[in-house]
Every structure is written in C-alpha cells, then in structure tokens.
Structure 1
Amino acid sequence: MIIDAHQHFWDPARANYPWMEAPELTPIRRAFGPANLAPLLKANGIDASIVVQCRSALEETEEFLRIAHATPSVIGVVGWADLTDGDLGDTLDRLRTLPGGDKLVGIRHQVHDELDADWLLREDVQQGLTAMFARDLTYDFLVRTRELPAAIATAQAFPQARFVLDHAAKPPIAGGGCDEWTNHIATLAACGNVWCKISGLATEAIWNDWDAERLFPFVAHAAKCFGEDRLIFGSDWPVCLLAGSYCEIKDALEACLARLGGQVREKAFGVNAMAAYRLV
C-alpha cells in the first residue's frame, strides 16, 4: 500500500483558521475536501492517505472521523484534542465511539504557534500525553527549530511511546539551513521512538525557485539520522500548492528518496507510516 501520510481538508467558509490569514496564503484560502484529493491520489498512484488536523477544535476531529468513515482511502486521522484538559482520557474514549473512531491514530497540536517554546514540557501537557499514550495513540510534533529541544525532552520522557515529526521540523531551506536544526534533528532521531515525515519541505524553500536538488540535502540529513525505517512520505496537500502541484511535490520527494536507495523510497511510501501509526 502506497500512503500519503500527511494531507489536510478544510473549508474557510465554515470554520476559522487563524494561521491562514496571511496574504500570501490567499491561493489556498478555499475549500478542499475528499472529492478534490481523490483524482490526485489516483493520478499519482497513491492508495490511501492520513488526514491531519488544521485547527484546535474537537469539532474538526469529529468531522475528520466522519470523513474517514465515509472515505475508504482515508485510513487514518491525526486529530486535535486538548492536551491540557484533565478529562482528556474521557474525550479520547468518546471520539473512538463515533463513526470513524477506529481510524483515530494520533493527536497533534500546533506547538510552533505557542508563545512558550517549552509548551510541550508543561505539567498539564505531559499529563495529557500520558493519557493519550495509554490509549496507544501516536503524537505528531508540529515544531520548528525553536521547539526541538522541548520535543527531544518529551521523546526522552516517553521512551515507549510513538512520535512523528511533521515536516522534518520545517528546516530553514530558503535560508540555506542552519547548524541548530541539523544538530537537534540528530539528537531527536537518537531517541529511537520518533519517525520523521519528509513533507512540507517545498514550502520551506523559496516557493517559485526550488527543485529536488535543493531539497535533497535536508532529506539526506533526515535519512542519515532516522534511517530507512523511520522516514515517512507526506504531500502536505493542499498547503503544498503554494510551491507546486501535488505531482511536482510527490515527484521531487520520490527523486530525493530514490537517490538514497530503492528500499528507502519503498519504506517511506507506506511501510513506515503503518508502523508509526499502527495501521492495519
């Protein structure tokens, strides 16, 4: 099974997405749903996808579960739930009783938008993670370089848990990279319980001036650190449309992974996502 492990659905006419207010995001400030994604998956030889949260609202998680229930190609939902809520366990149990609840595979919070770089280390957040891991869910890190130390400490605090690093922590590709990102990625990977999504990289480059060659050093570093068993492909559609079409993004990442070996590419396009999210 070939899996796109990171895609989104949204409709700005029906809900508020604070991160989408920047003028440069106007091209994607419209509705995107399963009917828009289906032909792209078919055209690019993708069998299934995992839909990932876009806003901090349980209503969205519930909606994604309904979509997953009605859409066979959506095999997993990484939703949102309030990690600071003392009743988080009950909330997660309730979500799993809903139609599509069996496809809830993980939780994510937009940590890089928090003012506190150490938000992940707050006592209430750590308690929430404990409740989440007790239910065998995966946690997606949405962080940049600034928050990587807290992500490292969190992965170390839960050695038996599963974490997925979204977008390789958004390396500063447009600026040529930085040693801080490079070093932190190596330390996080050394935890052993973190997978890394090779997703969202083109939008960290200069949108109208990038190619696979310029993405490759960042993919290669992630591969060196995480190894062939912990790299995961994700399109980051429709955010990726800011920098290129679905096909352009997929082909560029496939080319990068293929340079690292056929087995690296093969595992990143399915097997590793299934392991990270306990997909069956």
Structure 2
Amino acid sequence: MLFDSHLHIVDRKHLAYPWLADAGPLDRDSLYGDYAREARRLGITDTLHMEVDVAEDDIERETEYVKGLSREPGSLLRGVIAACRPESAGFPAYLERVLADPFVKGFRRVLHVVPDNVSEGALFRENLRRLGNTNLTFDLCVLPHQISKAIALIDLNPDIRFVLDHCGVPAVKDGLSESWSSGITEVAKRPNVTVKISGVVAYADPDDWTPETLRPFVEHCIARFGWDRVIWGSDWPVCTLGGNLSTWVAATHALMQGVSDDERNRLYHLNAKRLWSL
C-alpha cells in the first residue's frame, strides 16, 4: 500500500502552464487517467495532487479541476496541495476561501523559481504566519544552496507543519555534497518538518542510475528525520525523466529491503495519513 503525496496533473485544455514552454520532455499533457491506470497496478491506493505552477489566474481553478476528478468512481485523489502567493496582498482573502474547503490539505510556493528575497519579504512572512492557526501544511521546494532560506521560515513558524520536498533536491548525478548533507542534517533538527522521499530519480543521470545511486540520499534523509517524519511521493510525471512511475516504485521497494514492516508502513502510508488526518 502506497500513499502518493506528490502527483502532478497537467491538462492544457483546462489550465495554463507558462513554464512548460521551457520544460523539454515535460511539455505535454500528463493526465490523471494515465497515472491512475499504472498507479493501481503498483499498489498506490491514495494520492494528493501537488500544484503545478499554473498561471496565477488559474490557481483556484486548478483546485476545482482536481476536485472534479476526485468525484469520479474509484478515484485515488484525496485532496490537493494548492498553489499560493504569500507575497501577495490578496493572500488573506484566498486563505479564508481555502479554509472553507476541506479538500485543500496544504499550500506550496516553489521558492527556487523566484528570487531568494521573495521569501524574506515582510508580507510573505506575515502571510505565512497565518497558517499557524490552521491545519494546512506548507511544502518547501528549495535547492541545496537555499536551505538557509527554508530554515529561516521554519524557525519563524514553529507551529506550522512544513514538508521538505524531494529530499531537499540533491544533485544526485553529481554525487553527495557537503552542502546538501549538512543542510538536511540541520533542517531535520526542526521537529515540525517532514521530508518527502521523492524526486531523486529526476536528479540522477537518466542513463546511468540504480537504486544504489539513490541510496545515500534516501538513507541520509531517513537517518536524520527518523521513520515518523518521512513520507513518500511519486513526483509523476517528473519522475519519468529518470524512467517511469513503475521504475521509481520498484526502486523504492529495493531501497526498503531489510527495514521492518512497521518502518516501511510509516514511510509508505501511515505518516501521510496522520499528517493530513486522512
């Protein structure tokens, strides 16, 4: 049983994705039906949709689009991590609308696609603090050299539950780096942060990786965060840059050989269901 905490759906007939023009092989539709067909065969029973950086005018429309898919018979979708703009004066009103919708489980603002000073702005930080009175999580997607920016936000908000995406985005193809490993060690000291075991296949050499290539990164995250603060995600369709969904699931199972059933279950589904009260 796998709970997929990180599914991206791309449907260009319904939503606009300005970044896709420069996304190479990802510049295509990646539809829920294609994902679900393979996911069910792999034992994925539940998934959360992760925002896909749609055009700002489409942010709330993306949530409604995914909600419609969740109503289909047998849907795997259990909620969304929605896009947001904490640097915007309109964030408080948006948050009020989201709080009325239990389908939204959290927010994400990808920080490595904006200048570093965006997350350092007074309005961004004031708006982020508003999540402290909610049950919404906040996903942090930063590059290793930006981990200090993430830590600053975490330290300002000890009552917000943060999720560090993609093992902290290591450059797997370049091997272990001190900046990445020390950054993971430091952020893991914050008890309100969970790390997502996802994304790493997309950062490996697509023609030359095995589970052993990924092992040092995955095991370092688990060792530092512990089995109660790790969750699993597919990062589909981005994971297809390093194979496909089946490849990443098979690699995950290979990496978990030798761990206890309890540890495996916490990573695979129990922690996610607890984190989002599902």
Structure 2 length normalisation: TM-score?
0.91
Matching residue of 2:243: 244
For residue 37 of structure 1, what is the amino acid of its counterpart? Y
Matching residue of 2:218: 219
Matched residue pairs, number? 273
Which has the larger displacement, 254-263 or 41-50?
Answer: 254-263
Correspondence 1:153-232 to 2 at 5 A: 153-232=152-231
Matching residue of 1:111: 111
Matching residue of 1:93: 96
Matching residue of 2:28: 30
**2:69 is the counterpart of 1:67:** yes
Write out per-residue CA displacement over residues 235-268 of structure 1, whole angstroms, 9 at most, x where no aligned residue.
1111111111211101102221334443322111
Following superposition, which runs of at least 4 residues in structure 1 exceed 6 angstroms of deviation? none
Query: By how many angstroms is 1:32 displaced?
Result: 1.9
Write out per-residue CA displacement over residues 190-240 of structure 1, whole angstroms, 9 at most, x where no aligned residue.
011100111010010001211101100000100111000111111111111
**2:2 is the counterpart of 1:2:** yes
Write out per-residue CA displacement over residues 128-179 of structure 1, whole angstroms, 9 at most, x where no aligned residue.
2112332221000011112210111111111121000110111011001210
Of 47, 50, 53, which aligns to 2:48?
50
- 2: CA distance, partners of 1:260 / 1:180: 28
Which has the larger displacement, 160-169 or 77-86?
Answer: 77-86
For residue 135 of structure 2, what is the amino acid of its counterpart? D
- 2: CA distance, partners of 1:135 / 1:65: 21
Query: By how many angstroms is 1:14 displaced?
Result: 4.6
- 2: CA distance, partners of 1:275 / 1:86: 32
- 1: CA distance, partners of 2:134 / 2:123: 17
Query: By how many angstroms is 1:92 displaced?
Result: 2.3
Structure 1 length normalisation: TM-score?
0.90
2:248 counterpart SS class: helix
Which has the larger displacement, 28-37 or 204-213?
Answer: 28-37
CA contact (8 A) 1:68 1:103 kept: no
Query: By how many angstroms is 1:21 displaced?
Result: 2.8
**2:131 is the counterpart of 1:132:** yes
- 1: CA distance, partners of 2:151 / 2:193: 9
CA contact (8 A) 2:196 2:230 kept: yes
